[in-house]
Amino acid sequence: MARVNSLSGSGVEAPHRVVRFFEILPGLATWTMIVLPIVLSIYAPVVVAYFIIAFDLFWLMKSFRMSSALLVGHRRLRIATQLDWVARLKHLEAMMAGEGTEEVEQAIVEAKREQSFFWFLSRKGRRQNEQLQQLHVELDNLKNTQAFRKPVKPSEVIHVVILATYNETLETLRPSIKALAQVNYDLSKIWFVVAYEERGGDVDRERVATLQREFKGQFARFLSFEHPDGIVGEERGKGANITHAGREVLKVIRDEGLHIPNIMVTTLDADHRPDPEYFNHLTYSFVTS
């Protein structure tokens, strides 16, 4: 009778030889990649030479691509940190109230008037050009948003922030929540949710209770949800914890009759500290997308 094994954790049974093959395959592939170039360098050195050249060119191109992406990302980050996101949200709100895009158009005219012909020769000129380009982007976004029949106003957006924790100390959690409470955004539009694990026991429950006492009244809501342990078919981890908290928050949102399309959800690790302008930037991107 053929020997039958169960594939670990899957509940699927397969012949013993099949299971052993898949167990051996990762190690076999690794050792083959290590030993094969050495063997081929003796019996087929030309093949190995071409392979090494192609391999080096491949990683050279990947390094160029990564470097260019880093430069583009750094440029976008620098531009984003220089923009007044509060003013941008005010432009959006005013435009949706029927005031149009005249203010942004006037800002573009003034920026063009101040820009010199040789702007690219100085750092100040390049910075002014970046701001001018951002104004053009903002104008396009405003016009696109204006084309919607019922656009979401920035003041109508509600942010739900879910922080997942398991055995983190108050020394780790407290600074993260303090940073969230100090963002340059209306805290009455932020719901803060702590997602903690049942397997953390009374220690985690007491930490969450302490945080609720310390930060009570600073956010529109301060909610906490305990993720049950041992749910059948569910893998232990942060993702399952956040998913459970998200489902529970959704129940509260529906009970209060809030408009779900106006809600943005942000998930944080226990040691994450958002930038003061994070919610302004996120709100602008959400409303104009």
pLDDT digits (tens, 9 = 90+) for 138-185: 666 666 655 554 578 888 999 999 999 998 999 999 999 999 999 999
What is the band of 2 on the pLDDT scale with cuts at 50, 70, 90?
Answer: very low
Higher pLDDT, 14 or 7: 14
> Which two tokens mark 265?
């959800």
pLDDT at 80: 80
At residue 190, φ and ψ (nearest 5 deg) are: -120, 125
Mean per-residue pLDDT, 237-253: 93
pTM of the model: 0.69
Burial class of residue 220, CB neighbours in 10 A (0-12, 13-18, 19+): middle
**Percent of the chain at pLDDT exceeding 70:** 85
pLDDT > 50? residue 282: yes
